[in-house]
Amino acid sequence: MINFITRRLAQSLINSKNRIETMSKKINQKSLILGFILGVLTATSSAVFAVKVLGTGYLMGWEVTYNGRTICDDPYIWSGTREIECD
């Protein structure tokens, strides 16, 4: 009888641990996806906001990067044609 109770308790603990690990993985995946979406939205909205507020002109303190490499600093923005010019 004691052996049965011990096995039952051990099985219950193992099941609890497995459920907790599964929930932890789901939470981490959700956090990762939510963080990625939030980052993309923040980057897009900040660039759109800068063009809307500043219009045509230089964006001081901004860098134009391509594949992680900085192409130029303080680009000139043409809002009418939606172009970025690097000097």
pLDDT digits (tens, 9 = 90+) for 3-57: 666 766 667 667 666 676 676 666 677 788 888 899 888 887 777 776 666 567 7
Whether 28 maps to a domain, the answer reads no
Whether 33 maps to a domain, the answer reads no
Is pLDDT at 84 greater than 70 in this prediction?
yes
Is pLDDT at 58 greater than 60 in this prediction?
yes
Whether 41 maps to a domain, the answer reads no
- The total number of residues shown for the chain amounts to 87
Angle at 15 between CA 11 and CA 21, to 5 degrees: 145
In sequence order, the β-bridge partners of residue 57 are 77
In sequence order, the β-bridge partners of residue 66 are 69
Confidence of residue 82 (pLDDT cuts 50, 70, 90): confident
User: Whole-structure pTM over 0.85, yes or no?
Assistant: no
Q: Which domain holds residue 76?
A: 55-87
* Domain count of the fold of the chain: 1
Whether 81 maps to a domain, the answer reads yes
